A and B are shown apart, each in its own frame.
Chain A
Amino acid sequence: MKNNYLYVLLLFLLSGCFGVDNVDEYPDEVDGFKPVYVSKEQINTISTLEARVLQKPGKIYTYGRYLFVGEAGRGVHIIDNIDPKQPKNISFIEIPQNNDIAIKGNMMYADNHGDLIVFDISNPTDVKLTNRIANALPQNNSQLPPEQGFFECIDASKGIVVGWERVRIKSPKCRY
Protein backbone atom coordinates (compact mmCIF):
# COMPACT_ATOMS: atom_id res chain seq x y z
CA MET A 1 0.00 0.00 0.00
CA LYS A 2 2.77 2.28 1.01
CA ASN A 3 4.51 1.30 -2.25
CA ASN A 4 1.49 2.32 -4.31
CA TYR A 5 1.60 5.74 -2.74
CA LEU A 6 5.23 5.97 -3.67
CA TYR A 7 4.39 5.07 -7.28
CA VAL A 8 1.71 7.69 -7.38
CA LEU A 9 4.11 10.19 -5.90
CA LEU A 10 6.74 9.17 -8.44
CA LEU A 11 4.28 9.51 -11.33
CA PHE A 12 3.25 12.89 -10.02
CA LEU A 13 6.86 14.00 -9.84
CA LEU A 14 7.56 12.70 -13.32
CA SER A 15 4.52 14.35 -14.81
CA GLY A 16 5.56 17.48 -12.99
CA CYS A 17 8.89 17.22 -14.68
CA PHE A 18 7.28 16.77 -18.07
CA GLY A 19 5.02 19.68 -17.33
CA VAL A 20 7.98 21.90 -16.55
CA ASP A 21 9.68 20.65 -19.70
CA ASN A 22 6.68 21.58 -21.77
CA VAL A 23 6.61 25.05 -20.35
CA ASP A 24 10.36 25.21 -20.97
CA GLU A 25 9.90 24.36 -24.62
CA TYR A 26 7.72 27.32 -25.40
CA PRO A 27 7.57 29.65 -22.41
CA ASP A 28 5.50 32.83 -22.19
CA GLU A 29 8.56 35.02 -22.19
CA VAL A 30 12.22 34.23 -22.70
CA ASP A 31 15.58 35.68 -23.71
CA GLY A 32 16.12 35.09 -27.40
CA PHE A 33 16.76 36.68 -30.75
CA LYS A 34 14.74 38.85 -33.07
CA PRO A 35 15.55 39.18 -36.78
CA VAL A 36 16.88 42.50 -38.04
CA TYR A 37 15.21 43.22 -41.37
CA VAL A 38 16.28 45.42 -44.19
CA SER A 39 14.21 45.96 -47.32
CA LYS A 40 15.68 45.08 -50.72
CA GLU A 41 15.42 48.80 -51.58
CA GLN A 42 17.49 49.74 -48.54
CA ILE A 43 20.08 47.08 -49.33
CA ASN A 44 20.38 48.38 -52.87
CA THR A 45 20.80 51.99 -51.79
CA ILE A 46 24.33 52.94 -52.73
CA SER A 47 25.74 56.44 -52.26
CA THR A 48 28.96 58.37 -51.81
CA LEU A 49 28.84 60.19 -48.51
CA GLU A 50 31.08 62.52 -46.57
CA ALA A 51 34.12 60.97 -44.95
CA ARG A 52 33.29 59.41 -41.61
CA VAL A 53 35.27 57.90 -38.74
CA LEU A 54 36.27 54.25 -38.67
CA GLN A 55 33.94 52.35 -36.38
CA LYS A 56 34.32 48.70 -37.18
CA PRO A 57 37.05 48.40 -39.80
CA GLY A 58 37.12 45.26 -41.93
CA LYS A 59 39.15 44.30 -44.96
CA ILE A 60 41.80 46.55 -46.49
CA TYR A 61 42.76 47.24 -50.10
CA THR A 62 45.24 49.60 -51.72
CA TYR A 63 45.00 51.17 -55.14
CA GLY A 64 47.65 53.66 -56.14
CA ARG A 65 47.66 56.49 -53.65
CA TYR A 66 44.33 55.40 -52.18
CA LEU A 67 43.52 53.09 -49.39
CA PHE A 68 40.15 51.39 -49.03
CA VAL A 69 38.95 50.20 -45.64
CA GLY A 70 35.77 48.18 -45.34
CA GLU A 71 33.32 49.18 -42.64
CA ALA A 72 31.91 45.76 -41.82
CA GLY A 73 28.63 45.33 -43.67
CA ARG A 74 28.10 49.05 -44.28
CA GLY A 75 30.47 50.22 -46.95
CA VAL A 76 33.97 51.38 -47.73
CA HIS A 77 36.07 54.30 -46.51
CA ILE A 78 38.33 55.90 -49.10
CA ILE A 79 41.53 57.31 -47.70
CA ASP A 80 43.97 59.46 -49.62
CA ASN A 81 47.30 57.99 -48.59
CA ILE A 82 49.66 60.06 -50.72
CA ASP A 83 51.43 60.88 -47.45
CA PRO A 84 51.28 57.83 -45.16
CA LYS A 85 52.19 60.09 -42.27
CA GLN A 86 49.00 62.05 -42.83
CA PRO A 87 46.37 59.84 -44.43
CA LYS A 88 43.19 61.74 -45.22
CA ASN A 89 39.82 60.13 -44.96
CA ILE A 90 38.07 61.62 -48.01
CA SER A 91 34.79 59.80 -48.54
CA PHE A 92 32.59 56.89 -47.60
CA ILE A 93 30.78 54.70 -50.10
CA GLU A 94 27.68 53.28 -48.52
CA ILE A 95 27.23 49.65 -49.63
CA PRO A 96 24.94 47.68 -47.32
CA GLN A 97 26.03 44.08 -46.66
CA ASN A 98 29.39 44.61 -48.34
CA ASN A 99 32.43 42.52 -47.45
CA ASP A 100 34.85 42.66 -50.35
CA ILE A 101 36.09 44.92 -53.11
CA ALA A 102 38.66 44.71 -55.90
CA ILE A 103 39.80 47.43 -58.27
CA LYS A 104 41.23 47.58 -61.75
CA GLY A 105 41.65 50.64 -63.93
CA ASN A 106 39.37 52.92 -61.91
CA MET A 107 36.59 50.35 -61.81
CA MET A 108 35.72 49.00 -58.40
CA TYR A 109 33.88 45.71 -57.99
CA ALA A 110 31.98 45.06 -54.77
CA ASP A 111 29.51 42.58 -53.33
CA ASN A 112 26.14 43.90 -52.23
CA HIS A 113 24.02 41.13 -50.74
CA GLY A 114 24.26 38.65 -53.57
CA ASP A 115 24.67 41.27 -56.28
CA LEU A 116 27.98 42.20 -57.87
CA ILE A 117 28.13 45.95 -58.36
CA VAL A 118 30.51 48.08 -60.40
CA PHE A 119 31.68 51.61 -59.61
CA ASP A 120 33.62 54.19 -61.53
CA ILE A 121 36.01 55.61 -58.94
CA SER A 122 37.86 58.06 -61.23
CA ASN A 123 36.75 60.75 -58.82
CA PRO A 124 37.01 59.16 -55.37
CA THR A 125 34.89 61.86 -53.75
CA ASP A 126 32.13 61.27 -56.27
CA VAL A 127 32.08 57.56 -56.95
CA LYS A 128 29.51 56.46 -59.52
CA LEU A 129 27.58 53.20 -59.52
CA THR A 130 27.70 52.06 -63.14
CA ASN A 131 26.29 48.55 -63.09
CA ARG A 132 24.62 45.90 -61.00
CA ILE A 133 24.74 42.20 -61.79
CA ALA A 134 21.86 40.84 -59.76
CA ASN A 135 22.25 37.51 -57.96
CA ALA A 136 25.80 36.98 -59.21
CA LEU A 137 26.87 35.68 -55.80
CA PRO A 138 25.31 33.68 -52.98
CA GLN A 139 23.57 35.84 -50.42
CA ASN A 140 24.72 35.91 -46.86
CA ASN A 141 21.33 35.43 -45.35
CA SER A 142 21.25 34.99 -41.61
CA GLN A 143 18.44 32.47 -41.45
CA LEU A 144 19.34 31.34 -37.94
CA PRO A 145 20.37 33.34 -34.88
CA PRO A 146 24.01 33.21 -33.77
CA GLU A 147 23.17 31.00 -30.79
CA GLN A 148 20.79 28.10 -30.34
CA GLY A 149 17.58 28.83 -28.52
CA PHE A 150 14.34 30.69 -29.00
CA PHE A 151 13.83 33.29 -31.66
CA GLU A 152 11.13 35.33 -33.28
CA CYS A 153 10.18 33.53 -36.49
CA ILE A 154 11.25 35.12 -39.75
CA ASP A 155 8.53 36.98 -41.62
CA ALA A 156 9.78 37.25 -45.21
CA SER A 157 7.25 40.00 -45.94
CA LYS A 158 9.21 42.29 -43.61
CA GLY A 159 12.35 42.15 -45.74
CA ILE A 160 15.71 40.43 -45.76
CA VAL A 161 17.24 39.20 -42.52
CA VAL A 162 20.66 40.79 -42.14
CA GLY A 163 21.32 40.06 -38.50
CA TRP A 164 19.91 39.23 -35.11
CA GLU A 165 19.20 41.30 -32.05
CA ARG A 166 19.20 39.84 -28.55
CA VAL A 167 15.81 40.58 -26.98
CA ARG A 168 13.22 39.35 -24.53
CA ILE A 169 10.54 37.58 -26.61
CA LYS A 170 6.92 36.97 -25.64
CA SER A 171 5.38 33.61 -26.61
CA PRO A 172 8.16 32.49 -28.97
CA LYS A 173 7.15 30.19 -31.82
CA CYS A 174 10.57 29.27 -33.22
CA ARG A 175 13.65 27.60 -31.80
CA TYR A 176 16.58 25.53 -32.95
Chain B
Amino acid sequence: MMKNFIYSILILGSLGACSTQNNSDNTFGKAAPTTGQAGSLARFAIQGDNLYIVDKTNLRTFSLANPTEPKQIHTTNIGFGIETIFPYQNKFFIGASDAMYIYDFSNPENPVQLSRYQHITACDPVVAQGNYAYVTLRNSQVTCLRSENVLEIVDISNPTNPQMVNRLSMINPHGLGVDGTDLFVTEGSNGLKRFDITDPLKPVEKEFLRNTASFDVIPQNKMLIAVGSDGLYQYDYSQNPMQLLSKIPVIK
Protein backbone atom coordinates (compact mmCIF):
# COMPACT_ATOMS: atom_id res chain seq x y z
CA MET B 1 0.00 0.00 0.00
CA MET B 2 2.72 2.39 1.08
CA LYS B 3 4.71 1.26 -1.92
CA ASN B 4 1.80 2.02 -4.24
CA PHE B 5 1.39 5.41 -2.67
CA ILE B 6 5.04 6.22 -3.28
CA TYR B 7 4.77 5.02 -6.87
CA SER B 8 1.71 7.20 -7.37
CA ILE B 9 3.55 10.22 -6.06
CA LEU B 10 6.52 9.46 -8.25
CA ILE B 11 4.36 9.00 -11.34
CA LEU B 12 2.26 12.09 -10.64
CA GLY B 13 5.40 14.04 -9.91
CA SER B 14 7.07 13.04 -13.13
CA LEU B 15 3.90 13.77 -15.10
CA GLY B 16 3.79 17.19 -13.53
CA ALA B 17 7.40 17.74 -14.49
CA CYS B 18 6.63 16.70 -18.06
CA SER B 19 3.69 19.01 -18.45
CA THR B 20 5.68 21.91 -16.99
CA GLN B 21 8.42 21.12 -19.43
CA ASN B 22 5.94 21.05 -22.29
CA ASN B 23 4.42 24.35 -21.33
CA SER B 24 7.71 26.14 -21.20
CA ASP B 25 8.80 24.67 -24.51
CA ASN B 26 5.57 25.00 -26.34
CA THR B 27 5.62 28.60 -27.53
CA PHE B 28 3.13 27.61 -30.19
CA GLY B 29 0.53 27.10 -27.46
CA LYS B 30 -2.38 29.32 -26.61
CA ALA B 31 -0.58 31.61 -24.14
CA ALA B 32 -0.31 35.38 -24.66
CA PRO B 33 1.01 36.14 -28.13
CA THR B 34 4.78 36.36 -28.15
CA THR B 35 7.01 38.10 -30.63
CA GLY B 36 10.12 36.66 -32.21
CA GLN B 37 13.61 38.06 -32.31
CA ALA B 38 15.32 39.24 -35.49
CA GLY B 39 18.97 39.62 -36.41
CA SER B 40 20.52 43.06 -36.88
CA LEU B 41 19.91 43.14 -40.63
CA ALA B 42 16.12 43.08 -40.32
CA ARG B 43 13.82 45.55 -42.04
CA PHE B 44 10.78 44.29 -40.09
CA ALA B 45 10.16 44.85 -36.38
CA ILE B 46 7.07 44.06 -34.33
CA GLN B 47 6.46 46.12 -31.20
CA GLY B 48 3.23 45.76 -29.31
CA ASP B 49 0.36 45.69 -31.77
CA ASN B 50 2.31 47.18 -34.65
CA LEU B 51 4.54 45.93 -37.41
CA TYR B 52 7.13 48.48 -38.46
CA ILE B 53 8.82 48.14 -41.84
CA VAL B 54 11.64 50.21 -43.27
CA ASP B 55 12.04 50.41 -47.02
CA LYS B 56 14.80 52.40 -48.69
CA THR B 57 13.30 55.75 -47.64
CA ASN B 58 10.33 55.27 -45.30
CA LEU B 59 9.26 53.88 -41.98
CA ARG B 60 5.83 52.29 -42.35
CA THR B 61 3.56 51.36 -39.47
CA PHE B 62 1.04 48.55 -39.87
CA SER B 63 -1.50 47.91 -37.14
CA LEU B 64 -1.83 44.26 -36.15
CA ALA B 65 -4.90 44.94 -33.99
CA ASN B 66 -6.50 42.35 -36.22
CA PRO B 67 -3.53 39.97 -36.64
CA THR B 68 -4.69 38.54 -39.95
CA GLU B 69 -5.45 41.97 -41.42
CA PRO B 70 -2.39 44.22 -41.11
CA LYS B 71 -3.44 47.74 -41.88
CA GLN B 72 -1.08 50.54 -42.82
CA ILE B 73 -1.75 53.40 -40.41
CA HIS B 74 1.29 55.63 -40.76
CA THR B 75 4.23 56.37 -43.03
CA THR B 76 7.08 58.71 -42.36
CA ASN B 77 9.92 59.63 -44.66
CA ILE B 78 13.29 59.05 -42.99
CA GLY B 79 15.94 59.75 -45.59
CA PHE B 80 17.71 57.60 -48.15
CA GLY B 81 19.62 54.33 -48.14
CA ILE B 82 17.69 52.95 -45.17
CA GLU B 83 18.83 49.41 -44.42
CA THR B 84 17.92 48.14 -40.96
CA ILE B 85 15.65 48.67 -37.95
CA PHE B 86 16.50 47.63 -34.39
CA PRO B 87 13.95 48.15 -31.61
CA TYR B 88 15.27 48.80 -28.12
CA GLN B 89 13.05 49.87 -25.26
CA ASN B 90 10.76 52.49 -26.79
CA LYS B 91 13.15 53.48 -29.52
CA PHE B 92 14.10 52.39 -32.99
CA PHE B 93 17.70 52.51 -34.13
CA ILE B 94 17.62 52.74 -37.88
CA GLY B 95 20.69 52.08 -39.98
CA ALA B 96 21.08 54.01 -43.22
CA SER B 97 23.96 54.29 -45.66
CA ASP B 98 25.11 57.62 -44.25
CA ALA B 99 23.54 57.89 -40.82
CA MET B 100 21.94 56.24 -37.84
CA TYR B 101 18.50 57.55 -36.94
CA ILE B 102 16.85 57.30 -33.55
CA TYR B 103 13.05 57.26 -33.48
CA ASP B 104 10.86 57.31 -30.41
CA PHE B 105 7.73 55.21 -30.67
CA SER B 106 6.26 56.01 -27.26
CA ASN B 107 3.27 56.92 -29.36
CA PRO B 108 3.28 53.65 -31.30
CA GLU B 109 1.09 54.93 -34.10
CA ASN B 110 3.34 57.87 -34.80
CA PRO B 111 7.10 57.31 -34.38
CA VAL B 112 9.00 60.58 -34.06
CA GLN B 113 12.58 61.25 -35.08
CA LEU B 114 14.80 62.22 -32.14
CA SER B 115 18.09 62.49 -33.94
CA ARG B 116 20.20 61.74 -36.95
CA TYR B 117 23.75 60.66 -36.23
CA GLN B 118 25.70 61.19 -39.39
CA HIS B 119 28.68 59.04 -40.30
CA ILE B 120 30.75 58.18 -43.32
CA THR B 121 28.91 56.47 -46.15
CA ALA B 122 28.92 52.76 -45.46
CA CYS B 123 26.74 49.71 -44.89
CA ASP B 124 25.73 49.96 -41.28
CA PRO B 125 23.54 47.82 -39.07
CA VAL B 126 23.10 49.07 -35.51
CA VAL B 127 22.20 47.51 -32.14
CA ALA B 128 21.78 49.13 -28.73
CA GLN B 129 22.01 48.30 -25.06
CA GLY B 130 21.90 50.58 -22.06
CA ASN B 131 23.39 53.97 -22.90
CA TYR B 132 25.25 52.82 -25.99
CA ALA B 133 24.59 51.97 -29.60
CA TYR B 134 27.04 49.86 -31.56
CA VAL B 135 27.27 50.56 -35.28
CA THR B 136 29.33 48.68 -37.83
CA LEU B 137 30.45 50.54 -40.92
CA ARG B 138 31.56 48.48 -43.85
CA ASN B 139 33.31 49.39 -47.00
CA SER B 140 31.66 47.75 -49.99
CA GLN B 141 32.48 48.69 -53.54
CA VAL B 142 29.12 47.43 -54.75
CA THR B 143 26.45 48.66 -52.37
CA CYS B 144 28.08 51.21 -50.11
CA LEU B 145 30.77 53.15 -51.87
CA ARG B 146 34.33 53.45 -50.60
CA SER B 147 34.59 53.99 -46.92
CA GLU B 148 36.15 52.46 -43.84
CA ASN B 149 35.64 49.28 -41.87
CA VAL B 150 34.95 50.22 -38.28
CA LEU B 151 32.85 49.62 -35.21
CA GLU B 152 31.57 52.83 -33.67
CA ILE B 153 30.32 53.13 -30.13
CA VAL B 154 27.81 55.90 -29.71
CA ASP B 155 26.62 57.33 -26.41
CA ILE B 156 22.82 57.51 -26.66
CA SER B 157 22.11 58.56 -23.05
CA ASN B 158 20.74 61.71 -24.63
CA PRO B 159 18.98 60.22 -27.66
CA THR B 160 18.41 63.65 -29.15
CA ASN B 161 22.16 64.18 -29.31
CA PRO B 162 24.09 60.92 -29.82
CA GLN B 163 27.86 61.23 -29.45
CA MET B 164 30.57 58.94 -30.74
CA VAL B 165 32.75 57.81 -27.85
CA ASN B 166 34.96 55.16 -29.42
CA ARG B 167 35.91 53.70 -32.74
CA LEU B 168 37.57 50.36 -33.44
CA SER B 169 39.06 49.23 -36.69
CA MET B 170 37.47 46.10 -38.21
CA ILE B 171 38.17 43.95 -41.27
CA ASN B 172 34.80 43.79 -43.04
CA PRO B 173 32.05 44.05 -40.43
CA HIS B 174 28.43 43.09 -41.16
CA GLY B 175 25.66 42.31 -38.66
CA LEU B 176 26.20 42.42 -34.91
CA GLY B 177 24.54 41.56 -31.64
CA VAL B 178 24.81 42.54 -27.99
CA ASP B 179 23.79 40.71 -24.82
CA GLY B 180 25.00 41.70 -21.38
CA THR B 181 28.79 41.83 -21.39
CA ASP B 182 29.06 40.15 -24.80
CA LEU B 183 29.22 41.93 -28.12
CA PHE B 184 29.41 39.86 -31.29
CA VAL B 185 30.56 41.32 -34.59
CA THR B 186 30.46 39.35 -37.82
CA GLU B 187 33.36 39.94 -40.17
CA GLY B 188 31.91 38.38 -43.34
CA SER B 189 34.22 35.74 -44.82
CA ASN B 190 36.87 36.72 -42.25
CA GLY B 191 35.04 35.19 -39.32
CA LEU B 192 33.22 36.05 -36.12
CA LYS B 193 34.43 38.20 -33.21
CA ARG B 194 33.39 38.19 -29.58
CA PHE B 195 34.13 41.23 -27.46
CA ASP B 196 33.93 41.68 -23.72
CA ILE B 197 32.03 44.91 -23.05
CA THR B 198 32.21 44.92 -19.26
CA ASP B 199 33.29 48.49 -19.96
CA PRO B 200 30.76 49.29 -22.69
CA LEU B 201 33.00 52.04 -24.04
CA LYS B 202 36.00 49.81 -24.53
CA PRO B 203 35.21 46.47 -26.14
CA VAL B 204 38.02 43.97 -25.60
CA GLU B 205 38.40 41.30 -28.26
CA LYS B 206 38.05 37.98 -26.51
CA GLU B 207 37.66 35.52 -29.37
CA PHE B 208 38.10 35.63 -33.10
CA LEU B 209 36.75 32.55 -34.87
CA ARG B 210 38.35 32.85 -38.26
CA ASN B 211 36.63 29.78 -39.66
CA THR B 212 33.13 30.97 -38.86
CA ALA B 213 32.26 33.06 -41.88
CA SER B 214 29.24 35.10 -40.80
CA PHE B 215 27.16 38.14 -41.68
CA ASP B 216 24.56 38.24 -38.92
CA VAL B 217 23.91 37.00 -35.38
CA ILE B 218 21.21 36.67 -32.74
CA PRO B 219 22.54 36.38 -29.17
CA GLN B 220 19.80 35.18 -26.85
CA ASN B 221 19.96 33.50 -23.43
CA LYS B 222 23.66 32.70 -23.80
CA MET B 223 23.00 30.96 -27.12
CA LEU B 224 24.40 32.58 -30.22
CA ILE B 225 23.00 31.94 -33.66
CA ALA B 226 25.34 33.02 -36.43
CA VAL B 227 24.63 32.82 -40.14
CA GLY B 228 27.20 32.92 -42.91
CA SER B 229 28.01 31.75 -46.40
CA ASP B 230 29.01 28.27 -45.16
CA GLY B 231 26.12 27.61 -42.84
CA LEU B 232 24.25 28.31 -39.66
CA TYR B 233 26.21 28.01 -36.41
CA GLN B 234 25.08 27.84 -32.81
CA TYR B 235 27.34 28.57 -29.86
CA ASP B 236 26.96 28.40 -26.12
CA TYR B 237 28.56 31.61 -24.84
CA SER B 238 27.99 30.93 -21.16
CA GLN B 239 31.45 29.42 -21.50
CA ASN B 240 34.93 30.70 -22.28
CA PRO B 241 35.75 30.13 -25.01
CA MET B 242 32.26 29.71 -26.37
CA GLN B 243 31.37 26.19 -27.45
CA LEU B 244 30.11 25.21 -30.87
CA LEU B 245 26.85 23.30 -30.42
CA SER B 246 25.96 22.64 -34.02
CA LYS B 247 26.39 23.68 -37.61
CA ILE B 248 23.88 23.30 -40.40
CA PRO B 249 26.08 23.41 -43.47
CA VAL B 250 25.35 25.19 -46.72
CA ILE B 251 25.19 22.67 -49.54
CA LYS B 252 25.60 24.23 -52.96
Given contacts A55-B250, A64-B27, contact A109 B225 (CB under 8 A): no
24 examples of A-B residue contacts, CB within 8 angstroms: A53-B249, A53-B251, A54-B248, A55-B251, A57-B229, A60-B217, A61-B36, A61-B37, A61-B39, A62-B37, A65-B25, A65-B26, A67-B232, A81-B234, A84-B246, A102-B38, A102-B45, A102-B51, A104-B36, A104-B51, A104-B64, A124-B28, A131-B69, A138-B56
Q: Give A69's nearest chain B residue, CB to CB.
A: B232
Residue B4 interfacial (CB < 8 Å):
no
Which residues of the partner chain A approach B32 to less than 8 Å between Cβ atoms? Answer: 105
A64 and B69 contacting across the interface, CB-CB below 8 Å: no
Q: Write the B32-55 contact mask toward A (1 if CB under 8 angstroms, else 0).
A: 111111110111111000010101
Chain B contacts with A in 222-252, Cβ cutoff 8 A: 223, 225, 227-229, 231-232, 234, 236, 245-246, 248-252
Contact of A67 among B41, B67, B225 (CB under 8 A): B225
Contact yes or no, A103 B35, CB < 8 A: yes
The CA-CA distance from A122 to B27 in the complex, in Å, is: 10
- The answer to whether A60 and B70 have CB atoms under 8 Å apart is no
Give complex CA distance A56, B215 in Å.
12
A-B contacts at CB below 8 angstroms, number: 153
A67 (CB) vs chain B CBs: closest residue: B225
Given the contacts A65-B25, A89-B248, A137 and B38 also touching, CB distance less than 8 Å: no
A87 close to B (CB within 8 Å): yes
The contact string, 1 if C-beta is below 8 Å from chain B, for chain A 78-104, is 010110111101000000000111111
Q: Would B250 and A57 count as touching, CB distance under 8 A?
A: yes
Asked if B44 contacts A102 (CB within 8 A), the reply is yes
**CB atoms of A54 and B27 under 8 A apart:** no
Taken together as a complex, chains A and B put the C-alpha atoms of A55 and B132 apart, in Å, by 36
| B interface bracket (residues with beta carbon within 8 Å of A) | 35 or more
- Cα–Cα distance between A122 and B33 once the two chains are bound (Å): 12
The reply to whether A60 and B232 contact each other, CB–CB distance below 8 Å, is: yes
Interface string of B45-77 (1 = CB under 8 A from A): 110000101011000101010011110100000
B220: Cβ under 8 A from any A Cβ: yes
Complex contact B232–A104 (CB within 8 A): no
Q: What's the Cα separation between A137 and B251 when bound, in Å?
A: 32
CB interface residues, A 84-141, toward B, < 8 Å: 84-87, 89, 99-107, 109, 111, 116, 118, 120-122, 124, 130-131, 133, 136-138
Q: How large is the interface on A (under 10, 10 to 19, 20 to 34, 35 or more residues)?
A: 35 or more
Whether the pair A61, B68 counts as a contact (CB closer than 8 A) is no
How far is A106 from B41 in the complex, measured between Cα atoms in Å? 22
Complex contact B43–A100 (CB within 8 A)? yes
CB distance from A169 to the nearest CB of B (A): 23
Q: Residue B152 at the A interface, CB < 8 A?
A: no
Chain A's closest residue to B142 (CB) is A146
Contact of A106 among B28, B42, B55 (CB under 8 A): B28
Whether a CB of chain A sits under 8 angstroms from the CB of B104 is no
For residue A107, which residues in chain B have a CB less than 8 angstroms away from its CB? 64, 67-68
* Chain A residues, Cβ within 8 Å of B248: 54, 79, 87, 89
- The CA of A124 and the CA of B28, in the complex, are separated in Å by 9
Instruction: Evaluate contact between A86 and B246: CB separation under 8 angstroms.
Output: yes
A63 interfacial by beta-carbon distance below 8 Å: yes
Supply 15 further A-B pairs (C-beta < 8 A) apart from A87-B234, A103-B35, A122-B28: A55-B252, A58-B227, A60-B227, A63-B36, A63-B37, A65-B26, A66-B27, A84-B236, A85-B246, A100-B53, A102-B42, A116-B53, A130-B68, A138-B55, A146-B142
